[in-house]
């Protein structure tokens, strides 16, 4: 699998502020998946992006896949306390769900 770098490592925001996490690779990604892991919990699948330049929305969450398929971002509009957790990007390499995970961005939201 490839190396997938994620920034920032931590982010503190005030409730209502926006939040963005970035995922970068030095080589072309075949696809990108995003997961959310609540503190003490397990990863939960959010979305998969496959096409160059793809943009998908889920309520306040916007996911983008770069034109060169070397980066991706997750943007949360008007964060809420329920958004607290660590957000991971991951690439599935080869056939199947053998994933290479980024290091994650831990989001903390102050009420």
Q: Which residues pair with 24 in a beta bridge?
A: 5, 71
Does residue 103 touch other proteins according to CB under 8 A? yes
Residue 100 binds to other proteins (criterion: CB under 8 A): yes
Instruction: Write down the least CB distance from residue 42 to other proteins, Å.
Output: 4
Choice between 17 and 46, CB closer to other proteins: 46
Q: Is the torsion defined by CA of 74, 47, 68, 98 positive or negative?
A: positive
Give yes or no for residue 84 binding other proteins (CB under 8 A). no
Contact between 96 and other proteins (CB under 8 A)?
yes
| Residue 26 touches other proteins, criterion: CB under 8 A | no
Segment interacting with other proteins (CB under 8 A) among 52-60, 62-70, 72-80, 89-97:
89-97
Transcribe 9-61 into DSSP letters.
SEEEEETT--EEEEEE-SS--S-EEEEEE-TTS-EEEEEEE-STT-EEEETTE
């Amino acid at each position: 699998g490839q190396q997938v770098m994620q920034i920032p490592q931590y982010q503190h925001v005030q409730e209502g502020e926006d939040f963005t996490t970035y995922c970068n690779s030095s080589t072309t990604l075949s696809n990108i998946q995003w997961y959310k892991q609540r503190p003490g919990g397990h990863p939960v699948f959010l979305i998969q992006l496959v096409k160059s330049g793809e943009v998908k929305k889920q309520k306040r969450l916007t996911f983008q896949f770069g034109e060169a398929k070397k980066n991706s971002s997750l943007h949360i509009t008007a964060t809420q306390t329920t958004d607290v957790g660590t957000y991971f990007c991951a690439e599935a390499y080869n056939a199947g769900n053998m994933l290479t995970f980024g290091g994650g961005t831990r989001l903390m939201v102050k009420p």
